[in-house]
Structure 1
Amino acid sequence: MSSEGTIVGGRYRLDQPIGRGRAGIVWLAFDTRLFRTVAMKRMYLPVGLPPERAEQARAMAMEEGKAAARIEHPCAITVYDVLPEGPDVWLVMEYIPSRGMSIFLSEYGRLTAEQAASLGILLGDAMATIHAAGIVHRTLEPGTVLLADDGGVKLTDIGITGGGPHAAYRAPEVTRGGPPSPAADVFSLGATLYTAVEGVPPFGEDGDSPERPPQHAGVLTGALRKMLRADPTIRPTMNDTVRALKAITEGREQTAFVPPTAPAMPTMPVSWPGRPPQAGQPLQAGQAPQAGPPQQAGPPQQAGPFPQAGPPQQTGQPPQAGQPAGPLMQLPVQQVPQAPAPPQPMRTPQQPTARFVPSPAQQAAAAQATREKAAARRRIILTVAAVLCAVLIGIGVSQLLFV
């Protein structure tokens, strides 16, 4: 068993477990060679197999990891390395602070149809890239979708068999023993989006119950029914699904989520129409969930992960009735009345100061001082002139004597 501080592959130090998926435990690790934080997962391998079968399982896990490393998409987790370590196979991935979509839904409730459509566009575009590379995801479900703290969406376990897909999100033909296919991924995406808007899988947790008619899907209902068709030959392709979802959003799809761990929204007065909904009500587009654990009383507060695009409201004016509250930076600020300034004491205007007039004696002394300074200057000038004349005379006499 792996434990904290274990060095894997002579390079990666396991620091602490941060999650558990169907493909194994996810560890927060540190790359001692490149000095960066990574996420590592010990891939699922069946136990109790004969040596030949165990070696085949390890080789298959290595091939799946190498295939996942070829995928490059903003909504797909980047795989850095896949390496064997004793009887295990480890997957080295980029570390994204996030939480699983299944945990997010359990804490904040279902999404609106528009929010689910926008989520489907991001996931469907990543899935189309995966299919173009000749890879099938196999295990698309809420547990393999990460909502990043920075607002991004990341798809994990790409092409990884692991412990197998959850029965509620597994295509009927795969349940009957058929091979995974892109059409099966379309079904899994449809079941994932259905769960996002309805709160429960379309065919129950076991995947064998009768189809539950959607009650909250709204404009998304038609697209979901096509994706959940039992016959894989008449399901839309992943590219067709993305185009249909974009048509539903009418070009207003969002490109980022409000982080699930974002700071709590500021408290708004009860009288404001834009006040967050009470527990049990879906959060409309443009509102973000409050961070922290769910409320104790009643069902968990439901929230949508997308901010609403649009111009910010004017400061000091509450939102109009029927309009949802804007993003955090666009929330109106309540005007606070300012107290009147205290009265200033009356000031008596000052009389102009009288001009100084010297006395006759002072005027006479000043005049005498001015005359003395002038006489001193004249004496200096005369002295300098006399010295210059003497010098010139001396020079002239010396020239006459030596001629």
Structure 2
Amino acid sequence: MNTSGTSGRPGRAGGEGHGAPPAARGRLLAGRYRLVRELGRGGMGTVWRARDETLRREVAVKEVSVPFGLPEEDVTRLHARLEREARAAGRIEHPGVAEVFDVVRQDGRPWIVMELVRGITLQDVLEADGPLEPERAASIGAQVLSALRAAHGAGVLHRDVKPANVLLALDGRVVLTDFGSSLVEGGEELTDAGEVVGSPEYLAPERALEAEPGPASDLWALGVLLFASVEGRTPFRRETALATLGAAVDDALPAPGRAGPLRPVIEGLLRKHPDDRLSAAEAERLLRRVAGGSRARGGGAAAVPGAREVR
């Protein structure tokens, strides 16, 4: 599970996920959605494969995991965060964002019902196979950026773009997941002052300095994702989260050695000041140009060996 979201990672590439606990498997939510199998679990929540018995289709259902003894105020905040995720994703109409079908309440807590996307996370691919070729990374990055542009156009900042939240679907799509950390234009901030939202290795300098985030902050995170995809590591990772944030603010970007034609895009997205970064439109244009080299040779982002169902 990531730092502040609710998506789970069932395990390595090709795994079948966790088996549902006997008491949960078969449970019916809101008289309609029957839990079939657990797909992923983490500190913040669980994602299930479920059956919509009204429309007779497979769906994904996300619930919040509430630690025993958690103060009621924090429980309320966790529930609000899940509902915010549903509202944020529900505002975005794009094939790179899983469609939200419903939000139901059962036992006093919310459950999100959404499109079941079959595939594997980019994080699992990197851990199983190592760094990507620049052209494949560019193809994935262009599709993530297209989804981000749709989100930004709908007034939504993702705030936790990273490989664990990018799903390579069997149908060829690249899907941006986990809007649990997102900020919706005009919406309430659900974190305390000074609380870090997102993953430190992917946090933009302005966010590390607690400045107001904007679309350029998501573009920085995409730049880190691209760097990690071709180099096999993030550029500013240090021994502690605080040191990592400090490096993002103060340290020069290490020269990417494997990026090839992707290097100008990475460097353009990882400029310290948000106003100096590549625009989303220019970055997407450059990414698609780099990705075009892989299609000419028969490569691409769609190959997903050992994929499984996950959201």
Q: Please, what TM-score do these two structures have when normalized by structure 2?
A: 0.74
- The aligned counterpart of 1:374 is none
1:37 positional shift: 1.0
1:137 positional shift: 1.0
Residues 14-93 of structure 1: pairs in structure 2 closer than 5 A? 14-20=35-41, 24-43=45-64, 50-51=71-72, 54-55=75-76, 57-93=78-114
1:214 and 2:238 aligned? no
Number of positions where the alignment pairs a residue of Structure 1 with one of Structure 2: 263
Deviation per residue, 1:280-339 (Å, 9 max, x gap): xxxxxxxxxxx9xxxxxxxxxxxxxxxxxxxxxxxxxxxxxxxxxxxxxxxxxxxxxxxx
SS in 2 for 1:150: coil
Q: d(CA) in 2 for partners of 1:80 and 1:37? A: 12
Q: d(CA) in 2 for partners of 1:53 and 1:150? A: 38
1:155 positional shift: 1.3
* Contact kept? 1:101, 1:145, Cα under 8 Å: yes
1:251 positional shift: 7.6
Which has more strand, going by share of residues? 2
- The aligned counterpart of 1:228 is 270
Q: d(CA) in 2 for partners of 1:19 and 1:80? A: 19
Deviation per residue, 1:335-385 (Å, 9 max, x gap): xxxxxxxxxxxxxxxxxxxxxxxxxxxxxxxxxxxxxxxxxxxxxxxxxxx
Deviation per residue, 1:56-78 (Å, 9 max, x gap): 55345323312211212122211
1:151 positional shift: 2.8
1:258 and 2:279 aligned? no
Q: d(CA) in 2 for partners of 1:148 and 1:116? A: 15
CA 128–46 in structure 1, closer or farther in 2 if over 3 Å, else same:
farther
Residues 249-328 of structure 1: pairs in structure 2 closer than 5 A? 249=291, 257-261=302-306
1:204 and 2:237 aligned? yes
Q: d(CA) in 2 for partners of 1:92 and 1:47? A: 25
- The aligned counterpart of 1:345 is none
Identify the range of structure 1 (20-29 vs 197-206) with the bigger mean alpha-carbon deviation.
20-29
1:255 positional shift: 7.1
Q: 2:165 aligns with which of 144, 169, 175?
A: 144
Residues 80-119 of structure 1: pairs in structure 2 closer than 5 A? 80-119=101-140
Q: d(CA) in 2 for partners of 1:33 and 1:74? A: 24
- The aligned counterpart of 1:165 is 198
Across the aligned residues of Structure 1 and Structure 2, the Cα RMSD in angstroms comes to: 2.9
Q: d(CA) in 1 for partners of 2:42 and 2:263? A: 29
Larger radius of gyration: 1
1:164 positional shift: 4.0
Identify the range of structure 1 (199-208 vs 75-84) with the bigger mean alpha-carbon deviation.
199-208
CA 107–170 in structure 1, closer or farther in 2 if over 3 Å, else same:
same
Relative contact order (alpha carbons < 8 A, sep ≥ 6): 1 or 2 greater? 2
* Contact kept? 2:294, 2:300, Cα under 8 Å: no
1:5 and 2:47 aligned? no
Q: 1:122 aligns with which of 124, 132, 143?
A: 143
CA 7–191 in structure 1, closer or farther in 2 if over 3 Å, else same:
same
1:239 and 2:281 aligned? yes
1:156 and 2:177 aligned? yes
Unaligned runs of 5+ in 1: 263-290, 292-403
Unaligned runs of 5+ in 2: 1-20, 183-189, 191-195
CA 160–87 in structure 1, closer or farther in 2 if over 3 Å, else same:
farther
